[in-house]
Amino acid sequence: MPNTNIPVITIDGPTASGKGTVAQKVADRLGFHLLDSGALYRLTALSALRRGTDMRDEHALAKVAEHLNVRFNGGHIYLGTEEVGNAIRAEDVGNTASKIAALPAVRQALYGLQLSFRETPGLVADGRDMGTVIFPGAQLKVFLTASVEARAQRRYKQLIDKGFSANMDDLLADLQARDARDTQRAVAPLVPAEGAHILDTSQMTADKAVEQVLAWYAHS
């Protein structure tokens, strides 16, 4: 049974809001574990794309999610023995992840795996439904957001830095489509959890956001 006394900080928000960076830094500062829940949806997408799974077959996709052979180790992500940290960041994988994340059976298949990350001394969990569905009793809930233009700029830089090609107009359109899917889906839509602190990082560095989250946590 997951220990519900272990502290959890949830950081939810839209794609490219900077929550991954902020969550990692907050976890480092507190010596907490990190759950990058988006990576689980991306890993499921990558695995399904590679197997040629029918993207309309919810049951088959849930099976892929249930049998993910994933390992997180020192900032690296392994699928089986292969390091896939960069592969899962590709735009087609992100788009597929956003589509399959709308399927209830896929979300259900990843539920237990997400709970298992709650280990001492604590957990920082980043995603879309960390505060609303997975860890509703979290000690601190943060909703991190930023304008779509600021997020497109960040995604552009991330992709170029990783050696992918990128086009600003395509990125903006992709982000808007993904926001619409993530916020309008019937199951676990992206909404701030009740009691969440809202943090708009459009004009804020990641370090400033980290300080704010740590200050909230100290007073939680």
Distance CA 209, CA 54 (A): 40
Q: Which long-range contacts (CB under 8 A, 24 or more apart) does 207-212 make?
A: 207/25, 209/18, 209/22, 209/144, 210/22, 210/25, 210/26, 210/29
In the complex, minimum distance from the CB of residue 29 to ligand DC, in angstroms, rounded to a whole number: 21
In the complex, minimum distance from the CB of residue 218 to ligand DC, in angstroms, rounded to a whole number: 25
In the complex, minimum distance from the CB of residue 163 to ligand DC, in angstroms, rounded to a whole number: 19
Nearer to ligand DC, 184 or 215 (CB): 184
Nearest residue to 79 (alpha-carbon basis) of 67, 90, 95: 67
Nearer to ligand DC, 15 or 24 (CB): 15
In the complex, minimum distance from the CB of residue 23 to ligand DC, in angstroms, rounded to a whole number: 10
Nearer to ligand DC, 104 or 215 (CB): 104
DSSP state of 88: G
C-beta atoms surrounding 37 within 10 Å: 22
**Which positions lie near ligand DC, rule CB under 6 A?**
15, 37-38, 41-42, 94, 97-98, 101, 127-129, 178, 182
Nearer to ligand DC, 149 or 215 (CB): 149
